[in-house]
């Protein structure tokens, strides 16, 4: 975060970028009960207390990695010794002594976290339009999601066309009626035969085309309605703590021919949303960071608005209200209109020069904690149009923590922030992202550091795989990237996370999460496969868009996650050794030159496709076409895998440096062609030697082994600053 040309305000031993100082004074602090003078005095005190410990723990990461590198080099020519490896990791303090699961003591947890199973959005906080869409994605049109994606087939005249296709519309309606029959079945007939719905004496009556009436087989699944009970505007049904809304009337093209006058079926979709300051954001200076902070504050206070053009129409976007309905007894009830919002701070390894202490940058995660939590306090105080946490908690997701010492430091940071901001102890809840190897193998000890704060643990293929490759970099060449997904370490990691969460009392109290569906346009495949996440015992899983959230929500109707968790409680197996298994190519596995080249081209194209946007346009997360022109959601975590994988195979002689450079040049031409229609994209080819984007991509590979834990942000940030500096000089 460069604050050059953004003159600093000196306060005590801090030098603060003037624009950040003004934001805190004029926007963040008013009505918070904290003056801006108190804010900066507290920040200085916290940085002095925790900064040295943070630096010490980052140094310990490097020292542990160096020892692991030495061990692998010394044992590279020998058969892998799992017992010896485990003993070694324990001797250097990488692996902690095994402890019994500590029971959570977290209190004041919202039902969206503790009770309701469902999808979770992750969205970059630097894009106001995206975060508003995410916050409003609590409810989503099933008709839209089916009609506009490949979830419904396009055969026999049901193609997606610019003009409304009634054949496709009928297919959508039939799909939705099947959904209703499966989850809200009738004692007589089918929803596909319905011609009218009404509510009487707390019961739902469905009139059939043959004149008969049907009722819900499970009457308690009627939640409520709006309008005249004899001819309601909406009917709300519920299963597994999730709601479904039938909307009656005219005006929506998909349902215009519906014989029951249902013009849409709306599902409770994204139950919570992570508003991200981290991996999905390209934030390299104080101006970038202020956009992130302002958007979070605007979300919390309900004041954030965005106006944009779409298809020639001006659209105004803001947060939506809660929904007023009448329950089965005709009494008024309020249903949440928005997702529960969480905020993800950056990792402990990043620094910001938006604030200097005695001339040195401070840990950015400390600044994030102070600002995002003071913004969150406005929700506690009622300084908002809408309530986010009805239980009075602030939910902070902490990424990239390495083991229990770092979790303990984060807990201490939360203590000091609460004291500084006048917030009751344990109001700040902590989501532990189980995405680094040292956290995975010590997860019980990590939870034990902050049992009063933990509200979620999760798993994910992306960062966890990047760390896995980097940790065993010296051991040998790793498996091809796709084969990593079925490697023993990953399967054990996924199961262990769920087992440990259940043993720690997460059921009915906290979230157990799973990772992202990366292909936002492949909805037929998503519907087929992502049922695996609730089946694994996870109460939530990440999705990249509101549409995916709506379709994934169907899985949580199909499977009762709490029942599944009860089944899994009996599962008990020691998985540490399996998690410590190395994902290396078997010695007798010989890859052909073609196999190696295809792997290289795949990784190089993905790397360049993402870096060209991050560095060139400041886009931290977007749909990036892969080598087969399939759009995939990319962020720093996906980049970490691609760069580390190439670096590993290059180091162990599966590639030559010449081969890598030639392939990168070839893929630069390919990526340029994929972005040819983007008016904001500048080609890399023609000036590769001077391209910040291309050179950054090369550095991520050729300097990949020396990047701490294989992280990409250091190189990306330096290169992005170069682009912005060059643009400012023109």
162 assigned to active site? no
Residue with tokens 């939590």: 373
Please report, to the nearest 10 degrees, the dihedral formed by the alpha carbons of residues 43, 45, 49, 55 taken in order: 40
In three-state form (DSSP H/G/I as H, E/B as E, the rest C), the secondary structure along 633-698 is EECHHHHHHHHHHHHHHHHCCCCCHHHHHHHHHHHHHHHHHHCCCCCCCCCCCCCHHHCHHHHHHH
Q: What is the DSSP string of 29-92?
A: STTTT--HHHHHHHHHHHHHHHHHHHHHHHHHHHHHHHHHHHHHHHHTTS---HHHHHHHHHHT
- Within 8 A by CB and 6+ apart from 465, the residues are 481, 484, 490, 641
* CA-based nearest residue to 102, from 498, 460, 452: 452
| Rg (the chain; Cα; Å) | 26
- Read off the DSSP letter of residue 280: T
- Within 8 A by CB and 6+ apart from 549, the residues are 118, 119, 121, 137, 140, 269, 270, 543
Cα(84)–Cα(240) distance, integer angstroms: 47
Phi, psi of 140 (to 5 degrees): -140, 145
- Within 8 A by CB and 6+ apart from 643, the residues are 603, 607, 700, 701, 704, 710, 712
Please report, to the nearest 10 degrees, the dihedral formed by the alpha carbons of residues 368, 371, 376, 377 taken in order: 140
Given 467, 635, 693, 699, the catalytic residue: 635
699 assigned to active site? no
Residue with tokens 């390299």: 284
Cα(511)–Cα(491) distance, integer angstroms: 20
* CA-based nearest residue to 600, from 500, 686, 477, 487: 477
Please answer whether residues 341 and 277 qualify as being in contact, where contact means their C-beta atoms are separated by less than 8 angstroms: no
Given 177, 317, 328, 344, the catalytic residue: 344
Catalytic residues: 344, 635
């Amino acid at each position: 975060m460069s604050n050059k040309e953004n003159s600093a305000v000196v306060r005590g031993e801090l030098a603060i970028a003037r624009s950040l100082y003004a934001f805190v004074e004029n926007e963040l602090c008013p009505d918070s009960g904290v003056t801006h003078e108190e804010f900066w005095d507290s920040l200085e005190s916290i940085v002095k207390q925790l900064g040295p410990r943070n630096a010490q723990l980052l140094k310990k990461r490097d020292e542990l990695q160096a020892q692991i590198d030495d061990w692998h080099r010394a044992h590279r020519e020998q058969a892998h010794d799992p017992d010896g490896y485990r003993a070694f990791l324990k001797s250097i303090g990488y692996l902690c002594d095994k402890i019994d699961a500590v029971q959570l003591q977290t209190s004041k947890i919202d039902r969206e976290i503790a009770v309701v199973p469902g999808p979770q959005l992750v969205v970059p906080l630097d894009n106001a339009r995206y975060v508003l869409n995410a916050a409003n994605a609590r409810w989503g049109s099933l008709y839209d999601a089916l009609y506009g994606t490949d979830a419904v087939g396009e055969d026999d005249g049901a193609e997606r066309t610019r003009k409304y296709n009634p054949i496709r519309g009928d297919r959508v309606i039939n799909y939705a009626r099947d959904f209703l029959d499966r989850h809200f079945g009738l004692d007589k007939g089918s929803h596909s035969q319905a011609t009218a719905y009404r509510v009487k004496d707390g019961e739902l009556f469905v009139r059939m085309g043959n004149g008969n009436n049907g009722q819900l087989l499970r009457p308690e699944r009627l939640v409520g309605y709006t309008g005249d009970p004899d001819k309601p505007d909406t009917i709300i049904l519920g299963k597994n703590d999730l709601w479904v809304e039938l909307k009656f009337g005219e005006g929506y093209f998909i349902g215009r021919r519906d014989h029951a006058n249902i013009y849409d079926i709306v599902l409770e979709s994204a139950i919570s949303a992570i508003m991200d300051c981290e991996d999905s954001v390209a934030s390299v200076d104080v101006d970038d960071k202020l956009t992130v902070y302002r958007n979070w504050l605007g979300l919390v206070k309900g004041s954030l608005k965005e106006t944009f053009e779409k298809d020639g129409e001006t659209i105004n976007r803001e947060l939506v209200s809660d929904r007023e309905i009448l329950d089965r007894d005709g009494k008024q009830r309020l249903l949440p209109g928005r997702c529960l919002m969480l905020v993800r701070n950056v990792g402990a390894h990043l620094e910001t020069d938006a604030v200097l202490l005695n001339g040195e940058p401070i840990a950015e995660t400390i600044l994030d904690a102070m600002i995002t939590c003071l913004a969150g306090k406005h929700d506690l105080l009622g300084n908002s149009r809408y309530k986010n946490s009805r239980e009075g908690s602030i939910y902070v997701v902490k990424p990239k923590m390495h083991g229990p010492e770092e979790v303990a430091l984060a807990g201490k940071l939360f203590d000091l922030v609460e004291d500084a901001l006048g917030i009751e102890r344990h109001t700040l809840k902590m989501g532990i992202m189980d995405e680094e190897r040292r956290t995975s193998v010590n997860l019980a000890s990590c939870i034990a550091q902050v049992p009063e704060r933990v509200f979620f643990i999760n798993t994910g293929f992306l960062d966890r795989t990047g760390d896995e490759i980097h940790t065993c970099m010296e051991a040998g060449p790793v498996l091809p990237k796709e084969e990593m997904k079925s490697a023993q370490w990953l399967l054990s990691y996924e199961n262990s996370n769920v087992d440990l969460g259940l043993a720690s009392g997460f059921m009915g109290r906290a979230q157990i999460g799973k990772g992202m569906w990366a292909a936002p346009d492949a909805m037929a495949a998503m519907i087929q496969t992502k049922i695996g996440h609730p089946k694994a015992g996870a109460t939530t899983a990440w999705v990249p868009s509101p549409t995916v959230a709506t379709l994934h929500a169907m899985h949580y109707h199909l499977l009762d996650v709490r029942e599944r968790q009860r089944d899994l409680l009996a599962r008990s197996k020691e998985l540490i050794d399996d998690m410590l298994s190395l994902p290396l190519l078997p010695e007798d596995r010989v890859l052909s030159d073609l196999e190696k080249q295809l792997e290289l081209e795949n990784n190089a194209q993905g790397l360049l496709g993402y870096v060209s946007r991050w560095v060139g346009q400041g886009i931290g997360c977007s749909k990036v076409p892969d080598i087969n022109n399939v759009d995939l959601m990319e962020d720093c975590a996906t980049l970490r895998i691609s760069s580390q994988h190439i670096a590993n195979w290059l180091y162990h002689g599966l590639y030559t440096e010449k081969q890598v450079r030639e392939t990168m040049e070839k893929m630069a031409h390919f990526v340029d062609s994929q972005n040819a229609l983007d008016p904001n994209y500048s080609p890399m080819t023609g000036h590769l030697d001077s391209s910040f984007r291309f050179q950054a991509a090369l550095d991520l590979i050729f300097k990949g082994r020396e990047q701490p834990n294989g992280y990409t942000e250091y190189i990306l940030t330096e290169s992005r600053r170069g682009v912005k500096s060059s643009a400012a000089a023109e």
